[in-house]
Amino acid sequence: MLPVEGPVVRGGGVLVQDGVIVAVGRERNLPPCDDVPVTDLGDAILIPGLVDAHCHLEWALMGGLVPDAPFGQWLGSFLHRTADVTAVDRAAAARWAALAALRCGTTTLADSGPGGFGVEAAGKAGLRAIVHMEIFGRETGTAAREKVTRHGEALLRMRDEAGPLVRVGVSPHSPYTVGPEIWSEVLGDPILGAGSIAAHVAESPDEVMLLDDQIGYLVDAIRSVGREPAHWPGGGPGVVSRLAAAGALVPGLIAAHCVQVGEEDAVLLAEHGVRVAHCPHSNARLECGDAPVELLQMLGIPVGLGTDSPASAGQYDLRDEARWAAEGVARRGTTPVAADMLALATIGSARVIGMDREIGSLLPGKRADIVAIRPFDGAPLEADPSLAVLDPRSRVIASWVDGKQVLGHEGPTRLDARAITAAATEARERIV
Ligand SMILES: [Zn+2]
């Protein structure tokens, strides 16, 4: 067992009561539990459920449809390719994405999307989630206030529909699609400002060029769909200092990517209590650069992992994302440590989304979100069990959220995987 916070426990077990971890340790040392059903997982490795700090469930069916290119050009293709995707197809995509994430050992995810379809998708799968409804626009004054108020009302309706493990939040999409007035109305709104807030921040060189000089492919991409990029006149140069100058960085903000971040920017992020969702696969595919993960961590900024979406990255597989993160560590000149990569995808992400008191490690008192991994034959269990966990040859065989099994030998326990896949296949055919 890899509790992530705490040493490896060989022959370990977890005692769960009412969805809470009561005890963790060697099986023979656990308190007597004669009246409790016991699940023997053989040689499986137990880890905390994986936590996705940034993903887009609604774009699950865009894999292979938007060619890899530097970010500005990619976004142009993405905007055109997704313009006509219907709500029905985005809902089908979200359900399929939740199924994919579940199969990959994810038990909690932080979703961002324009439609909020993650609420139903994650809820039905039995996943824990924060679903951030995206807001866009450059309105000012009364128009900005009214738009944000309507967004808050929509969020309350979503909250009413959400199951007990699903929370809702807001995502001002990015500094290039959201102006400072809308952003500040979001932060000041009694509903939106009080909940979880996520945004894409300092993702690409194109974003920097757009904010600093209003030039580049990203400007062209946004204008090509009849919109205008946002202006952030204060601060600068760079994205983070402009956001800071406008009061847009707030404690707990989940900032996805944070690649174009220098030392002064990193200090600003730390001072403002911002947390970072690192998305190395997407960053590599869109030639965004290398996020300065070690610098962020050195400054005490919580860093976790996000899978983004198949439009720019993989299929909601956090173990794969951890391998991309390890490659980045090596590229930056340090030897990657598998246990650190696993920590990014569990307790790291839990800190980023503000849920580390509840989840992210196997400790007494935390919610029982647990994943069992069957190691491949010959896995280095003695030398490095974390490496065995992250190896693609090892398989996720079971998972529990809040003490309830959501994935087992037969597949998902709450979902009709065949029906979800059939609906997603039909949706994909309409999108292609
Ligand atoms: Zn994203």
Instruction: Give the pair of three-digit tokens for residue 56.
Output: 């887009």
- The crossing angle, in degrees rounded to 10, of helices 87-103 and 417-431 is 130
Instruction: Give the pair of three-digit tokens for residue 361.
Output: 């490690």
Residue 22 Cα to ligand 1 middle (Å): 36
> If DSSP codes are grouped into helix, strand and coil, which group holds residue 42?
coil
Contact 347, 337 (CB under 8 A): no
CA distance 197 to 132: 7
Residue 312 Cα to ligand 1 middle (Å): 9
Residue 302 Cα to ligand 1 middle (Å): 18
CA distance 67 to 65: 6
For 346-402, what is each residue's pLDDT tens digit? 999 999 999 999 999 999 999 999 999 999 999 999 999 999 999 999 999 999 999
Domain presence at residue 2: no
Domain presence at residue 339: yes
Domain presence at residue 314: yes
Residue 307 Cα to ligand 1 middle (Å): 8
Instruction: Quote the pLDDT of residue 34.
Output: 77
Contact 166, 195 (CB under 8 A): no
In this structure, the strands spanning 196-201 and 50-55 are: unpaired
Gyration radius of the chain over CA positions: 21
Residue 217 Cα to ligand 1 middle (Å): 18
> Which residues, in sequence order, are CB contacts of 400 under 8 Å at separation 6+?
16, 49, 107, 368, 369, 370, 371, 406
Residue type present at position 139 = E
Residue 88 Cα to ligand 1 middle (Å): 21
Residue 38 Cα to ligand 1 middle (Å): 40
- DSSP letters along 318-332, please? HHHHHHHHHHHHHHT
Residue type present at position 219 = V
Average pLDDT, the chain: 97
In this structure, the strands spanning 20-26 and 12-17 are: antiparallel
Instruction: Give the pair of three-digit tokens for residue 329.
Output: 């560590």
Instruction: Quote the pLDDT of residue 236.
Output: 85
Let me know if 237 is exposed, middle or buried by CB neighbors in 10 A (0-12, 13-18, 19+): exposed
| Residue 335 predicted with pLDDT over 90 | yes
Residue 30 Cα to ligand 1 middle (Å): 42
166 confidence band (pLDDT: 50, 70, 90): very high
Residue 72 Cα to ligand 1 middle (Å): 14
Domain presence at residue 31: no
Instruction: Quote the pLDDT of residue 105.
Output: 98
Question: Among 2, 15, 50, which residue's Cα sits nearest to residue 379?
Answer: 2
| Residue 323 predicted with pLDDT over 90 | yes
| Residue 331 predicted with pLDDT over 90 | yes
Give the containing element (helix H, strand E) for 346: none
Domain presence at residue 329: yes
Residue 337 Cα to ligand 1 middle (Å): 26
Q: How many distinct structural domains can be found in the chain?
A: 1
**Structural domain of 348:** 48-367
Residue 349 Cα to ligand 1 middle (Å): 15
Residue 3 Cα to ligand 1 middle (Å): 29
Domain presence at residue 17: no
Instruction: Quote the pLDDT of residue 27.
Output: 85
For 53-88, what is each residue's pLDDT tens digit? 999 999 999 999 999 999 999 999 999 999 999 999
Angle subtended at Cα 313 by Cα 63 and Cα 96, rounded to the nearest 5 degrees = 50
CATH number of residue 203's parent domain: 3.20.20.140
36 confidence band (pLDDT: 50, 70, 90): confident
130 confidence band (pLDDT: 50, 70, 90): very high
In this structure, the strands spanning 128-135 and 166-172 are: parallel
Domain presence at residue 160: yes
Residue 313 Cα to ligand 1 middle (Å): 10
Residue 308 Cα to ligand 1 middle (Å): 5
| Residue 314 predicted with pLDDT over 80 | yes
Place of tokens 């946004």: 222
100 confidence band (pLDDT: 50, 70, 90): very high
Please report how many Cα atoms fall inside a 13 Å half-sphere around the Cα of residue 207, on the Cβ side: 28
Percent of the chain with pLDDT over 70: 100
Determine the number of helices (DSSP H) and then strands (DSSP E) in the chain: 16, 15
Domain presence at residue 232: yes
